[in-house]
Structure 1
Amino acid sequence: MKVDNFFAELKRRNVYKVAVAYAVVAWLVIQVSSTVLPTFHAPEWVVQTLVMLVALGFPIALVIAWAFEATPEGIKRTEVADAMPAAARQKKHAWIYIVVIGGGISVALFFVGRYSAMRTAAPRPASAELRRGEQSEAAAVAPKSIAVLPFDNLSRDPDNAYFCEGVQDEILTRLAKVADLKVISRTSTQHFKSAPDNLPQIAKQLGVAHILEGSVQKASDQVRVNVQLINAVTDAHLWADTYDRKLTDIFAVESEIAKTIAETLQARLSGSEKQMMAAAPTTDTIAYELYLKGRFFWNKRTGADLKRAIDYFKQAIAKDPNYALAYAGLADSYTLLSVFSAASPHDSIPQARAAAKKALELDNTLAEAHASFGRILSGYDYDFERAIAEFERAIQLNPNYATSYHWISNGPLTARGEFDRAIAEGKRAVELDPLSMIDNADLGQVYFYAHRYDEAISQVGKALEIDPHSYLAHFYLGQIYQIQGHLTEAIAEYQKAVELDDDPQALAFLGQAQARIGQHDKAQKILSRMTEEAKSRYVSAYSFALMFIALGDKERAIDALERAYREGAANDIITIKVDPMLEDLRGHPRFEALAEKIVPAREFKAGTASK
């Protein structure tokens, strides 16, 4: 068939008319669906499927138009229609009306949709700059990001609150193992109530595109879990479901929910990630509740709370001796005891090391256990290379575990003067746990060590916004003010820290600052108090060193630092080469020899961090 004859045949068989009419009607269907379906919170895949079906139908319609023809006697094959009398084949012009009317409706819906979208996206923009800012901010939010808000406890018994938190935490933990997702830590999500009214503001504060809400009702050995996944930007409900199961099946429910969320957000899942999401941390729900209580007090970061955390972790282990996560929590708590003057390294680190090793023996794929061991290697063994390897392994196993980024940042990387990477890792920790006081405060401390004092003040200020009663953040702020030469402001912050907690290190910071402004009597009284307290509790040698430096006794200050080294109090002195509080000792042969033992020159990569 010649080309000219072929196109003439297409025209004779009304293929052109069908193509035009199909295109107009298809566009009308798509416009109606994209305008109406979101009103009923239909998921995006419904519209996408409809568009695909419409596209697939186009060639089918053209084939039918070629093979068949509409006549007053009904649909006939084209060959039969051609043999009919001309009167019987008289064409009507209804298709023209379909095209005109459909086109008009489609155009109207197109402009209505555009107008509505503009009104929704920017109800009252103050300026072009504001609009651009909002657009760039929206673009910065990862589309595959989620925060799991606290679940509502619908049980009559308030004691079930911890179980309810456990369901939320376990879903979050399983999602966190997926590298393709950004999952906000529970420390930050706990600042909000379940089912809040201001989802867009919460999502913006947490830096996510999606929110998971839910509720838990527990009665005897039965449990009901309701969940709904919401696009926080559009307020569209992407998925919801209710699970009625036996209490013993709760971990399977949590795994199923996490897997469905990951699939709904179109996250890529590796085989190992699927296995980790399906694994149950323990078969004992009581042990899991005890573990959650332990993590709650661990996050408070005071000596007394760490001791309570240890008690809960031990109870969890007693319930389930193979509970690897509980051993990791126990290791983390013992590791921090000396940091918060609640025990000496000699009394706490052996227990921390044993718990971390036990956790790894039980589950070598547990990110928390690798992070625990990394903390011990850097904070007590001065083994920075192996510590970094352990933290990196933890990050590989759980890319959303904020503590791994936090500890690699303010531990070995800062000690070795790798400030650019230390700050980047610290920022990632804050991104994953934006409302964590300790993550924000310790990032501020990294800025302090890097001599970026304005940024340090800003970051520690964020920590104080989250928790105004954090004594740690107050004495961090005092340090920065002191190095900037603002001793009066520094003393005010140190005083607040002392009033908020009885940590002897906070007292030492106050005393050394008083000595520096000439209040030697007050400083000597604090030194005497520290000496007396050291008889009955742990007072770090670093705290004594700060006092002796301020009082002008450099030899005793170095004696104290050497004692810290012998006692294994590495957490206090691994930053010896970058700590501005030790500046007065630099150049002293004994001090430099000690610094070389702690951070050898071959490992120190120093310089001021680039801005």
Structure 2
Amino acid sequence: MQRKLAAILATDVVGYSRLMEADEADTLARLKSTRENLIDPKIAAYNGRIVKLMGDGALVEFPSVVDAVTCAFEIQRTMAECNAELPKEKQLEFRIGINLGDVIIEGADIYGDGVNVAARLEGLALPGGVLISGTAFDQVERKLDYGFEFLGEQRVKNIEKPVRLYRVDPRTPVISGSRKPDGTRRWIAVAATVLILIVAGLALWQRFGDDLVRPSDVASQSKMALPLPDKPSVAVLPFTNMSDEAGQESFTDGMTDDLITDLSKVSGLFVIARNSTFVYRGKPVEISKVAEELGVRYVLEGSVRRAGEQVRVNAQLIDALTGGHVWADRFDGNVADIFAIQDVFVAKIVEALKVNLTTTEKTEIVRAKPDNIAAKEAFEEGWSLYLRYNAKDTAAAITSLKKATELDPEYGRAYAALALAYFRVVESLWGKELGRDEPYFWLGAQDYVELAKKYPTSLSYTVEALRDVYQGLAEDARRNAGRAIASDPNDPEAHIATAWALTISGEPAEALNFVATAMRLNPNYPSHYVLARGLALFAMGDLKQAAEVFGEGVRRNPDATALFLPLSSVLAQLGRREEARRMLLKFRPGVGQKGLENLPDTLHLSFKWNHEHASVRERLNDGVRVAALPLDVTITSLEAELETGNPFSQQYAVKRLGWFGAAAAQAVPALVEALKVEHLRREAIEALGKIGPSAGAAIPALVALQNEALVGAYAKDALSKIRGN
């Protein structure tokens, strides 16, 4: 049996059962991270050897008592600093006991009274404190400038003689050596020890085997909702507001948003959009769950404490697949320096992930920031409101964003955000709800686009692209959206703008790829992404899939009014007219039959297809017209109307048959007959064109009309559609 004299350090976590009961996975992840990044390095620095890990506890051997006590002091001091920046429920506190004694060596393990005393002292130590035995104190009392408080002698389990106890408190170090006390002090110390024992008795020594990390501590790639990108992927969680002052949430959110915005400009990274990370705001989260839900490897979290013009920011980047820290840093200083420290954080994160930050990317990151802190706070308030995507919050967002531009007249991103908000009102048909008609917001958006162009940012290129889309300028839209993506490759809105440009120019299949990228960057995507995807599918002629996309979008967000009309149109064209009509009535509750039938003519989509692809828009409107028809108006009833009705009703019947498109193929013979009637000829030609290839029987009659002065151009257009040219 081998023996030796050794300094033994025993430690465990205070209130570990309570922490585990509250959030087991998060507690284990934080404990693992603390050990890897704080405790283990300090043990190594002071020549310690970890003998074993025991759930929340550890047993460490040192060749020197001085090293053991100094290491314990440094651990507790650093933990106190870390905990000062965390809410109470997130704090980890350790007890540490140290003894110098004889131990038995068995392989890599050690046993004996020397170990048992250290373990008993750790159980008696105060949270955040260090308790050492008399044998250890005798070796360090003249070698360390710490405050040692004698707590008397205490009998501990399975140890024959009482053990002298000395407390070292790293949070309030006092440079004063204590000697062995006289009799009076001994009684006081014994009383204090009894009190300590009562408190310590409330804590249980937890044992969870030798495994420190459980499967729930780290993310599982197989459980990820989305596949990991082929580049470093990052989600920035909303920073915790630790400020004592009220109203600092916008400042804290702004810090988070800036980091997301800056990191997203780095082409070598894949960065999740703010919309998808802010769903975790104010909630206890598990890093592993965030990573699995968003499909990322790295998660950045932190806290902000502001007091007047002073601010402290803590941040740490965690590898969710290992649970370890990749990078961590803290900033203390003046609020005026906050933008500079953001740049430093971004540079260090990029460096930690081994990604190159180009000169252009550095320029883009700096260019988007204002000089005025108050303007930045107003912007953050407005941007946060805008991203809720509803009429009421959009109105409030506009007010805050205008304030930002008043405080900083050169704030390009704020002008771009205002343009985006105005465009959203037009697209979502919120004008009446906001007290103005849509043209007012359309004109306002134009003005803000021009102002944003004077102070260009990636967002200004995005709003330029959207304006081009709304005007049907597909090539201009593609060019500006491309500039936006080049400036900010992780901006989902830039990808959506590109998708629109492709859809209106006749490339909906390619547009779907950009919509998919936007949805991947922003997994908790808003309803206008659904609109872009659904209309691309509609343009391709995939009505069934378009109906599923629009329907799911409405179920996901019942207030997504911009989806109601296209969903109604698609359902009608699929023959699901009752559902289509209900959707129209949901869009305009209480409106009469005449009002329903006038909907396509009184409302306009905010985007336009290129001239050669304008038939897609007409097909969309025709579906709404069919949805608005009384359910007893059918293709068969319209054919009958053609034969027996008066000229006026016959003309309506021909036009309505065209609204049904390919579904009206059975009416082709009746429409060919209508070509012989002069006052029905033009409407009949257009109806046959809308029926498309199924109207092949009408080709000879249309060929005979293609050179006539009044209807020749319409006949040629119909022939082109029927022949699929």
Give the superposition deviation at 1:136. Answer: 9.7
- Write the mapping of 1:66-465 to structure 2, written as runs, cut at 5 A: 120=215, 134=222, 140-193=228-281, 196-279=284-367, 281-341=369-429, 342=431, 346-363=439-456, 366-380=457-471, 382-409=472-499, 411-438=500-527, 439-460=529-550, 463-464=553-554
Give the distance between the partners of 2:369 and 2:418, measured in 1 at CA.
15
Q: CA deviation at 1:225?
A: 1.2
TM-score w.r.t. the length of structure 1 is 0.61
Is residue 507 from structure 1 mapped to residue 588 from structure 2 by the alignment? yes
SS of the residue 1:353 aligns to: helix
Q: 1:528 to 1:294 in 2, by over 3 A?
A: same
Amino acid at match of 1:233: L
Q: Which amino acid in structure 2 is aligned with residue 355 of structure 1?
A: Y
**Cα deviations by residue, 1:64-83 (Å, 9 ceiling, x for unpaired):** xxxxxxxxxxxxxxxxxxxx
Q: Deviations over 1:403-437 (max 9, x none)?
A: 0111221x221112202210001101101111012
Distance 1:119 1:394, change over 3 A: same
Whether contact under 8 Å (1:474, 1:493) holds in the other structure is yes
Distance 2:237 2:388 in 1: 20
Once the two structures are TM-superposed, the CA of residue 385 in structure 1 deviates from its matched residue by 0.8
Relative to structure 1, the CA distance from residue 387 to residue 154 in structure 2 (aligned partners, 3 Å threshold; closer, same or farther) is same
Deviation at residue 158 of structure 1 after TM alignment: 4.0
User: What is the alpha-carbon distance in structure 2 between the residues aligned to residue 471 and residue 401 of structure 1?
Assistant: 24
User: What is the SS of the residue equivalent to 2:285?
Assistant: coil
Q: Hey, what's the Cα distance between the residues in 1 that align with 2:226 and 2:211?
A: 18
In 2: Cα distance, 1:591 partner to 1:171 partner? 61
Residue identity opposite 2:442 in structure 1: I
User: Which residue of the partner structure matches residue 41 of structure 1?
Assistant: 36
Task: Give how far 1:135 is off.
Answer: 8.8
Question: Gaps spanning 5+ residues in structure 2: where?
Answer: 1-31, 42-106, 109-209, 607-617, 630-651, 659-688, 696-701
Q: Could you give the per-residue CA deviations for residues 336-365 of structure 1, whole angstroms, max 9, x where no partner exists? A: 3322331556433343223222222223xx
Answer yes or no: is the 8 Å Cα contact 2:36–2:324 preserved in 1.
yes
Q: Specify the structure having the higher radius of gyration (Cα).
A: 2
When the two structures are aligned, how many residues end up with a matched partner? Answer: 436
- Letter matched to residue 451 of structure 2: K
User: Partner of 2:312: helix, strand, or coil?
Assistant: strand
Paired with 2:246 and 2:538, the residues of 1 have a C-alpha distance of: 44
* Per-residue deviation, residues 126-170 of structure 1 (Å, max 9, x unmatched): xxxxx9x92998974445110111111112344211111111000
Q: Structure 1 residue 402: deviation in Å?
A: 0.6
**Matched-pair contact (CA < 8 Å) for 1:463–1:473:** yes
CA 1:593 to 1:429, structure 2 compared with 1: closer, same or farther past 3 Å?
farther
> Shift of residue 261 of structure 1?
1.1
Q: Do the aligned partners of 1:281 and 1:324 also contact (CA within 8 Å) in 2?
A: no
> Aligned equivalents of 1:556 and 1:482: distance in 2?
13
| Matched residue type, 2:361 | E
Please give the alpha-carbon distance, in whole angstroms, between the structure 2 residues aligned to 1:208 and 1:459.
25
In the alignment, the residues of structure 1 paired with residue 331 and residue 400 of structure 2 have an alpha-carbon distance, to the nearest angstrom, of 29
1:317 and 1:557 map into 2 onto residues whose CA distance is 53
Looking at structure 1, the residues matched to 568 and 622 of structure 2 have their Cα atoms a distance apart, in angstroms, of: 17
SS in 2 for 1:230: strand
Rounded Cα–Cα distance in structure 2 between residues aligned with 1:321 and 1:199: 40
Deviation at 1:481, TM superposition (A): 3.1
Q: Say which SS state the counterpart of residue 238 (structure 2) adopts.
A: coil
The question of whether the paired residues in 1 share the 8 Å contact of 2:225 and 2:295 is answered with no
CA distance in 2, matches of 1:340, 1:120: 45
Counterparts of 2:343 and 2:656, CA distance in 1: 57
Please state whether the residue corresponding to 1:191 is helix, strand or coil. helix
* Structure-1 separation of matches of 2:621 and 2:564: 20
SS of structure 2 residue aligned to 1:485: coil
Write the distance in 2 (CA, Å) between the matches of 1:417 and 1:210. Answer: 38
Identity of aligned residues (%): 25
Unaligned runs of 5+ in 1: 1-36, 47-100, 103-114, 124-130, 499-505, 512-521, 559-581
Compute the displacement of 1:212 (Å): 0.8
Query: TM-score scaled to structure 2, two decimals?
Result: 0.52
2:304, 2:481 → 1: CA distance?
Answer: 34
> Deviation at 1:293?
2.7
2:450 and 2:691 map into 1 onto residues whose CA distance is 40
> Pairwise mapping of residues 487-498 of structure 1 onto structure 2 (< 5 A)?
487-495=577-585, 498=586
> Which structure has the highest strand share of the two?
2
1:439-588 correspondence runs (5 A):
439-460=529-550, 463-464=553-554, 466-473=556-563, 476-495=566-585, 498=586, 506-507=587-588, 522-524=592-594, 526=596, 550-551=628-629, 552=652
Structure-2 separation of matches of 1:195 and 1:417: 44
Q: How much does 1:462 deviate?
A: 5.3
Task: Give, in whole Å, the separation in 2 of the partners of 1:529 and 1:414.
Answer: 24
Please give the per-residue CA displacement for 1:201-236, whole angstroms capped at 9, x wherever unaligned: 221221211111111111111111111111122221
Letter in 2 for 1:250: I
* Structure 1 residues 189-211: Cα deviation after superposition (integer angstroms, max 9, x where no partner): 11113573332222122121111
Misfit runs of 4+, over 6 Å: 115-119, 135-139, 528-531, 538-547, 553-558, 584-594
Indicate if the aligned counterparts of 2:234 and 2:300 stay in contact, CA closer than 8 A.
yes
- Pick 1 or 2: higher relative contact order, CA cutoff 8 A, min separation 6: 1
